[in-house]
Amino acid sequence: MRYELTDLKLFLEIAQARSLSIGASAVHITASSASYRLKNLEQALGTALFVRTPRGMDLTPAGDAVLAHGREIFQGLERMHGDVGRFISGLKGHVRIAANSSALNGFATASIGRFLVLNPDVNADIEERQSETIPAAVLAREVDIGIFAGPTEASGLVLHRYAMDRLMIVVPSGHVLAGELEVKLGAALEFDFVCMSRASSNFLFLRDMSQRIGKPLRTRLHAHSFDAVLSLVAAGLGIALVPTSILATRPAGVATVPLAEPWARRELNLAVRIEGRLPSFADALVQFLLEDPRVAITREES
């Protein structure tokens, strides 16, 4: 059984794109060369790895197995290069992080930025996802590090208690809710909301919770940052659901009202896979995230 790592890399790119031509482009070869290399790989393994469908290239069961092992091989190579690189010129590598809106905006982005400044040869992809989807993304090797709110029943993860946060209702200073000690979400849903973007985990969480309560979410408009949301609330366009962690620089003209629901108190967990070990640069980032004093103090206050 003989094939090259470049053939396996090509297979991974085709599997991700579900397209022979896009996979070929990703490894800088022509589609005809990619087709030839893929056939050689399938002959070497003795089985078909893809079936062509109107939607593109779909993996066969054997292809699914090769995909899982192929990812492990290249992650192992990345760990090797990262470990060797430490002895040459410090940490090197590329790390992928997925986190929910609260974790990204309130804690993780600033920490990751400082880490990258200290380690100029490390790059990162940061993606916002809903908390419920992040454990599966870590297990599927779509990301190296996941940060999400609440517990998970997923097995195969090492969980670190990352931070504590609380969801609040923010209202204009003169709003009828401004003087309340706390408010139920059902009562807050009687008013217009300024929401984060439709793809934001913050908005999706608010939408899902309003559906559970059985009340419509009256969205006045969507904004693309918490700073914009707070400014629009201060201008009187509506109220908003925001995490306490982003309120340090809130504008004048807004008041905060704690939510009465127990789920408003949010425990954020950081997850990595149990099996295998992270590359040295990714492991260093995990420790940096957990030891950030601004984050660690929230664990002591809970």
Domain 166-261 carries which CATH code?
A: 3.40.190.10
- pLDDT-derived band at 91 (thresholds 50, 70, 90) equals low
pLDDT for 161: 94
Mean pLDDT of 91-111: 90
pLDDT for 276: 64
Decide if pLDDT at 110 tops 80.
yes
List the structure tokens of 70.
């192929």
pLDDT for 95: 93
CB 11 within 8 A of CB 41: yes
pLDDT for 72: 80
For residue 268, report the phi and psi dihedrals to the nearest 5 degrees: -95, 130
CA gap 225, 155 in Å, rounded: 33
Q: Model pTM?
A: 0.67
| pLDDT-wise least confident of 127-131, 246-250, 259-263, 268-272 | 246-250
Residue type, 89: S
Decide if pLDDT at 215 tops 60.
yes
CB 56 within 8 A of CB 49: no
CA gap 135, 207 in Å, rounded: 21
- DSSP track, the chain: ----HHHHHHHHHHHHHT-HHHHHHHTT--HHHHHHHHHHHHHHHTS--EEEETTEEEEPHHHHHHHHHHHHHHHHHHHHHHHHHHHHHS--EEEEEEE-HHHIIIIIHHHHHHHHHH-TTEEEEEEE--GGGHHHHHHTTS-SEEEEES----SSEEEEEEEEEEEEEEEETTSTTTT-S-B-HHHHTTS-EEEE-TT-HHHHHHHHHHHHHT----EEEEESSHHHHHHHHHTTS-BEEEEGGGGGGPPTTEEEEEB-SGGGEEEEEEEEESSS---HHHHHHHHHHHH-HHHHHHHHH-
Quickly name the fold that domain 90-163+266-301 has. D-Maltodextrin-Binding Protein; domain 2 (3.40.190)
Give Cα separations from 140 to 60, 120, 273 (angstroms).
Answer: 17, 28, 9
pLDDT for 83: 60
pLDDT for 124: 93
Residue ranges of domains in the chain = 5-81, 90-163+266-301, 166-261
Mean pLDDT of 18-37: 89
Instruction: Give tens-digit pLDDT for 30-78.
Output: 988 888 888 888 888 889 999 988 888 899 999 899 888 888 887 777 7
CA gap 112, 240 in Å, rounded: 27
Domain 5-81 and domain 90-163+266-301, same fold? Reply is: no
Domain 5-81 carries which CATH code?
A: 1.10.10.10
Give Cα separations from 69 to 15, 48, 65, 79, 140 (angstroms).
Answer: 13, 16, 6, 15, 12
